[in-house]
Amino acid sequence: MAIDDATIIDALRRHLSLAAAKQVVAAGNLANLNTPGYRAREVSFADALDDRLASAATMRATHPAHLAGAPAEPANVREARGLPSRRDGNNVQLDRELLAMTRASGEFAAAQTALAAKFRLVRYALNEGR
């Protein structure tokens, strides 16, 4: 089974969006590091995957351009579970959030590199076809 270019680019787009959402959530957590009662949030990959699989099962395009104007999928953000709270009720942990931002940055960079390589291949094919 071959995977076409549109499928690869769509998967990379989703990966970029998920990595960006993780960075935004971690930045929001860091911004609220000293806010009393603030509860750390995280992007739930499992929820995002379940939503994607459910929408794929109910809606199929017969032509690639049919769903081109569809809105972006919302990031699935939930309260982080299992984190100890401080006396003020805040459960944000600086090290955890910095690590999350670093991981998300790495994921984004990897997807960006793969997408750039894909576009280089397309450009090469176009230039060699002359």
Per-residue confidence (pLDDT) for residue 73, from 0 to 100: 41
| pLDDT higher than 90, residue 44 | no
**10-36 mean pLDDT:** 93
Give the total number of structural domains in the chain: 1
Residue 41 tokens read as 């949030």
Angle at 49 between CA 59 and CA 13, to 5 degrees: 80
pTM score? 0.71
CA distances from 89 to 28, 31, 112, 121 (A): 17, 16, 38, 52
Mapping DSSP to helix (H, G, I), strand (E, B) and coil, where does residue 78 land? strand
Q: Which residue range is the domain that position 115 belongs to?
A: 5-128
Does 127 have pLDDT greater than 80? yes
Predicted local distance difference test score (pLDDT) of residue 69:
47
pLDDT tier for residue 72 given thresholds of 50, 70 and 90:
very low
What number is the average pLDDT over the span 90-96?
96
